[in-house]
Amino acid sequence: MTLNRISEEGGYAYVSMEALAAGGDFRAAEATREMAWEQLHSGPWHSVLPVWRDAYSMACLHVAIYHYRNRDFREALRVLDMGLIMGGLLLRQDLNSAVERVSVKCSGVGQGVMTDGKRGSGSERNSNEEEVRSQVLPNKSLSCKMVEKRSSLSLEGFLCDYFLSGSPVIISNSMSHWPASNKWKDMDYLKRVAGGRTVPVEFLDRIQSNQCNNSGTTYLAQHPLFDQIQELREDIVVPDYCFSGGGELRSLNAWFGPAGTVTPLHHDPHHNILAQVVGKKYIRLYSASVTDDLYPHSESMLHNSSQIDLDNFNEKEFPKAQDLDFVDCILEEGEMLYIPPKWWHYVKSLTPSFSVSFWWSALDND
């Protein structure tokens, strides 16, 4: 079916090479993958025909088979991950099945292995506290109104007191049943599960050593990691709050990074629960009602981002934002923050930090 549609779209050469690739011709398999890759980058992502994403997945499977047969398991896994990240949904189950098979072969080849499961020592915890104190926060931080905090908030309470009024709230004591609450504190577990994937060991090691230098800060931001690595997806639970409003879950993204990583001031179109699994983050929020005073970019692609750099605020350039009311907080490990649609927010990691964001739509803003 996919090949027929590609042929209809004019991809005759692709279909011919795909036939050779299916017969085990590695050069044809690589050529088909490169052609599909070019199609994926032929214009804006939303304008790419879905059939070409499925074609890329198909080609990745053929290339991975070649590397698997030649016992180059690392390369086979890398190719399959690219198929999951860039490919379509048609062959996702085939890709996941192939990943499971290749991961078994990779498990003993230079991978981090599970150790005795010891957590961070007392000295490491003290070091984390020092990191929090050493972080430089934007001017006036923690001096105005703090985000309200509720413990074990009921779904009815969330709906009536916060969702309907569009007010942010911190929810504590609602994540202790997540396997991630314990597992993600163990770097050896993360290396074993994700070390050979597109989240490489080097990435995890830099988080652990907190290497924030001039060469650039490593940060996995707003990535659909859980569509790609099923073991990590099984470690988290979609909060019941995300079904408020009768809508549907739009995206589930990972935010992994060391202390000091910043998400600049911006707003999102959906309801959002940011779950802090490991570490701490400082978060500042401005109501949607002050949007014009936060100097959003005029370009359509950046209209949800502010021109203001809160870490280097220029009062002369942005005078209207100087005395705006905001609420802020330090989101602690094990807490969730509800961010209503269109609320502006700035986020800074105070320690090595692993977070998960849940975006969902409601019938009132579909």
DSSP letters of 9-37? TT-HHHHHHHHHHHTT-HHHHHHHHHHHH
Position 108 scores a pLDDT of 56
- For 222-231, what is the mean pLDDT? 78
Distances (CA, A) of 331 to 183, 224, 271, 283: 20, 22, 18, 7
Closest CA to 255 of 230, 231, 273, 239: 273
Q: Which residue has the tokens 């042929």?
A: 7
Specify whether the backbone of 173 is left (phi greater than 0), alpha (psi in -120 to 50) or beta. left
Distances (CA, A) of 270 to 157, 163, 283, 295, 340: 20, 12, 18, 21, 7
Confidence of residue 341 (pLDDT cuts 50, 70, 90): very high
Q: What is the pLDDT of residues 120-142, one digit of tens each?
A: 444 444 555 455 555 689 999 99
Position 97, amino acid: S
Please give the Cα distance from 165 to 180 (Å, whole number): 31
Query: Token pair of 174, please?
Result: 């609602």
- For 179-194, what is the mean pLDDT? 90
Position 192 scores a pLDDT of 86
Position 263, amino acid: T
- For 173-189, what is the mean pLDDT? 94
Position 222 scores a pLDDT of 60
pLDDT at 235 over 80: yes
Q: What is the pLDDT of residues 202-223, one digit of tens each?
A: 365 555 555 444 445 566 666 6
- For 232-245, what is the mean pLDDT? 94
Strongest mean pLDDT among 9-23, 61-75, 324-338 = 324-338
Position 236, amino acid: I
Confidence of residue 187 (pLDDT cuts 50, 70, 90): confident
Position 255, amino acid: W
Position 172 scores a pLDDT of 97
Residue spans of beta strands (DSSP E) within 154-313: 169-172, 220-223, 249-257, 262-266, 271-278, 281-286
Percent of the chain's residues with pLDDT above 90: 45
Q: What is the mean pLDDT of the chain?
A: 83
Position 274, amino acid: L
Alpha carbon 332 to its chain centroid, in Å, reads 19
Q: What is the pLDDT of residues 1-50, one digit of tens each?
A: 666 666 666 565 666 667 767 777 888 888 888 888 888 888 777 788 88
Between 217 and 247, residue with greater pLDDT: 247
Helix (H) or strand (E) holding 100: helix 92-106
Closest CA to 340 of 366, 359, 356: 359
Please, where are the H alpha helices in 210-352?
A: 225-228, 230-233
- For 256-271, what is the mean pLDDT? 91
Residue spans of beta strands (DSSP E) within the chain: 145-146, 149-151, 169-172, 220-223, 249-257, 262-266, 271-278, 281-286, 327-331, 336-339, 344-349, 353-360
Give this prediction's pTM: 0.70
Could you tell me the strand order of the sheet in which 220-223 lies? 149-151, 169-172, 336-339, 271-278, 353-360, 249-257, 220-223
